[in-house]
């Protein structure tokens, strides 16, 4: 690619055209309408005769498509290769390994050569005027690339060059890809200036399946399942199933559910979309969000039991107001702003709306996607939500086993074995401690903490948990005995009354 040499030509052509337009605007008011149509038609024919160039536009969004066009994304990465050298105004974005990826800025142009043919690319935008735009909520912008080439290269460009651009662009995008963590913001005004309703940051979570503490056989089974899924394009097409898979991760807090999601993303090199369901207004907004999710990604809904009420109406997470309370509050309130805020607390995301995306007709949009739900209380979930086909694989993450402890010891202490391991093994069979708590005890608490001190800390903590469990078991037994005795006494008193 070479820097544009067309600059002056464009400028000259622009001013000539502007002059002609002005002249035409002036004289057309003296010409009757019928003649004007003929003249305009004639001018168009003349221009197409004399203007030897062909133009192709590639829009970021086609028609009513909600997703960014794949062709646009491919052109963007194809042109980014030599952009840094050839273009003066650039946009920078964080790429792989903390390196900046550069692409051309709006209204920049550059020249490319392909098999002896010269072509010109430019990045333009259309600002659509809409009612109600303000400084904070400006007009929506629609970007598009324009490709210009001489008509004698029409065949070469349409049949070979564009294919080359698509292929190279997609390959470059994949090479430079930095994994991203996306999230949705509450009450987002999606018609505004941003082209996407997800916000993202670079995703560089250090967790991997090597560092994940769990039963090694179970871990291998999950890894095999994930790898088979990511290589399963042809298989899924053959059996007529959308190329996606659902995982339900359940278990007590601190057992590694979120850590496993990070490990999954690292293993498959996928992006993560962390969907905060309580921030989604209704099913329409949910649909807009989900069609924007890119391929090769994991859609995550954490704590699904807290996000969605199983009657179909969303629960307000934590202490938010319940629907009936909101209704009461709205009636009482005189403040318009407060009423607006209270109304926005009423959500309309339904269970059926969510299910429709997981395996309804909408699920077929996009491919190579994992859907992961996490919960602490698997029993609370609606069977419809977690049945196979929706959540294909159910994975229980539980308290730390000795096998899992060995992984943590390797991660935190770089130890494969130690004489204290036997004692820990025995205590772990008798107690329940989460991997998060085990990991915390293995962390250095000062610079002088060696591996042995940290193992002793863990033993101490395990003993405390064991004693606490025993104490609460004794208390529970005493309560049970007391309840049984009072029940017996009640029965004997009743029978005495009956006898009397
Ligand atoms: N199985 C595990 N392997 C390695 N580290 C773990 C594991 N489980 C927990 N941890 C450690 O404990 C911390 C908390 O774990 P994590 O956030 O994955 O738990 P969680 O199951 O998602 O909990 P919650 O249900 O509260 O969301 C992690 O940062 C990690 O360091
Ligand atoms: Mg979690």
Nearest-atom number in ligand 1 for the CA of 400 is 1
67: Cβ contacts below 8 Å, ≥ 6 apart: 61, 291, 292
218 pLDDT higher than 90: yes
The bound ligand whose nearest atom lies closest to the alpha carbon of 300 is: 2
The bound ligand whose nearest atom lies closest to the alpha carbon of 436 is: 1
Residue whose Cα lies nearest atom 6 of ligand 1: it is: 256
The number of angstroms, rounded, from the C-alpha of 126 to the middle of its chain's C-alpha atoms is 28
Q: Please tell me whether residues 174 and 266 are part of one structural domain.
A: no
Angle at CA of residue 281, ends 291 and 287, nearest 5°: 15
Residue whose Cα lies nearest atom 27 of ligand 1: it is: 253
What CA–CA distance (Å, rounded) separates 315 from 300?
18
| Range with the poorest average pLDDT among 146-155, 180-189, 363-372, 463-472 | 180-189
The answer to whether position 47 is within a domain reads no
Q: Please tell me whether residues 360 and 217 are part of one structural domain.
A: yes
Domain count, the chain: 3
Average of per-residue pLDDT values in the chain: 81
- Indicate the helix (H) or strand (E) that contains 38: helix 33-50
Complex ipTM tops 0.85: yes
324 vs 399, which has greater pLDDT?
399
Span from the CA of 176 to the centroid of ligand 1 (angstroms) = 30
The answer to whether position 128 is within a domain reads yes
Span from the CA of 33 to the centroid of ligand 1 (angstroms) = 75
For the record, the structure tokens of 293 come out as 């999710």
Residue whose Cα lies nearest atom 19 of ligand 1: it is: 254
Q: Which segments within 105-218 are labelled E, that is strand? A: 109-114, 117-127, 141-150, 180-184, 198-202
Q: Which residues line ligand 1 (CB under 6 A)?
A: 212-214, 253-259, 376, 397, 435-436, 439
How much is the average pLDDT of 37-55? 78
Which segment, 13-27, 178-192, 193-207, is predicted with the most confidence on average? 193-207
Q: What domain range includes position 444? A: 402-488
* Domain end among 157, 178, 199: 178
The bound ligand whose nearest atom lies closest to the alpha carbon of 207 is: 1
Q: What is the pLDDT of residue 108?
A: 86
Q: Please tell me whether residues 79 and 117 are part of one structural domain.
A: yes
The answer to whether position 15 is within a domain reads no
pTM score over 0.80: no
Q: Which of 209, 253, 254 is the pocket-test mutation for ligand 1 (most atoms within 8 Å of CB)?
A: 254
Span from the CA of 127 to the centroid of ligand 1 (angstroms) = 46
Are 90 and 105 spatial neighbours (Cβ–Cβ below 8 Å)?
yes
Q: Please tell me whether residues 437 and 383 are part of one structural domain.
A: no
Q: Which of 218, 259, 262, 378 is the pocket-test mutation for ligand 1 (most atoms within 8 Å of CB)?
A: 259
Size (the chain), residues? 500
The bound ligand whose nearest atom lies closest to the alpha carbon of 250 is: 1
Q: Please tell me whether residues 247 and 229 are part of one structural domain.
A: yes
The answer to whether position 4 is within a domain reads no
Q: Please tell me whether residues 173 and 192 are part of one structural domain.
A: no
Q: Which residues of 34-65 are buried (b: 16+ CB within 10 A; e: fewer)?
A: eeeeeeeeeeeeeeeeeeeebeeebbbbeeee
């Amino acid at each position: 690619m070479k820097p544009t040499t067309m600059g002056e030509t464009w400028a000259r052509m622009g001013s000539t055209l502007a002059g002609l337009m002005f002249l035409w605007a002036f004289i057309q008011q003296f010409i009757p309408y019928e003649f004007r149509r003929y003249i305009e038609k004639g001018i168009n024919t003349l221009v197409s005769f004399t203007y030897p160039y062909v133009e192709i536009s590639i829009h970021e969004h086609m028609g009513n498509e909600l997703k960014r066009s794949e062709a646009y994304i491919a052109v963007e990465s194809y042109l980014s290769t030599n952009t840094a050298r050839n273009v003066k105004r650039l946009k920078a974005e964080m790429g792989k390994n903390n390196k900046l990826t550069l692409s051309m800025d709006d209204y920049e142009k550059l020249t490319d050569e392909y098999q002896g043919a010269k072509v010109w690319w430019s990045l333009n935008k259309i600002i659509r005027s809409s009612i109600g735009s303000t400084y904070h909520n400006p007009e929506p912008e629609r970007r598009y690339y324009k490709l210009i080439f001489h008509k004698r290269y029409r065949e070469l460009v349409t049949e070979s060059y564009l294919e080359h651009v698509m292929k190279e662009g997609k390959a470059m995008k994949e090479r430079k890809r930095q994994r991203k963590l996306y999230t949705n913001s509450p009450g987002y005004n999606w018609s505004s200036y941003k082209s996407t309703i997800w916000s993202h940051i670079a995703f560089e979570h250090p967790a991997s399946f090597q560092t994940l503490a769990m039963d090694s056989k179970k871990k291998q089974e999950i890894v095999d399942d994930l790898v088979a899924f990511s290589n399963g394009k042809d298989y899924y097409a053959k059996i007529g199933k959308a190329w996606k898979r659902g995982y339900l991760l359940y278990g007590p807090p601190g057992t590694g559910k979120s850590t496993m999601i990070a490990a999954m993303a690292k293993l498959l090199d996928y992006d993560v979309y962390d969907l905060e369901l309580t921030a989604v207004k209704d099913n329409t907004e949910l649909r807009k969000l989900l069609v924007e999710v890119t391929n090769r990604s994991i859609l995550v809904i954490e704590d699904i039991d807290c996000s969605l009420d199983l009657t179909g109406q969303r629960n307000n997470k934590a202490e938010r107001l319940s629907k009936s309370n909101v209704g009461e509050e709205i009636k009482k309130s005189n403040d318009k702003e407060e009423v607006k805020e209270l109304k926005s607390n009423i959500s309309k995301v339904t269970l059926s709306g969510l299910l429709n995306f997981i395996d309804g007709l909408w699920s077929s949009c996009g491919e190579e996607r994992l859907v992961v739900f996490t919960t602490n209380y698997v029993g609370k979930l609606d069977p419809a939500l977690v049945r196979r086909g929706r959540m294909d694989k159910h994975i229980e993450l539980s308290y730390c086993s000795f096998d899992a402890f060995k992984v943590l010891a390797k991660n935190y202490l770089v130890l494969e074995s130690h004489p204290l391991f036997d004692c820990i093994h025995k205590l772990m069979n008798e107690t329940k401690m989460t991997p998060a708590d085990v990991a915390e005890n293995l962390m250095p608490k000062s610079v002088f903490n060696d591996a042995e001190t940290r193992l002793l800390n863990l033993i101490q903590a395990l003993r405390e948990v064991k004693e606490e469990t025993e104490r609460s078991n004794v208390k529970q037994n005493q309560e049970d005995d007391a309840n049984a005795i009072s029940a017996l006494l009640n029965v004997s008193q009743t029978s005495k009354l009956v006898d009397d």
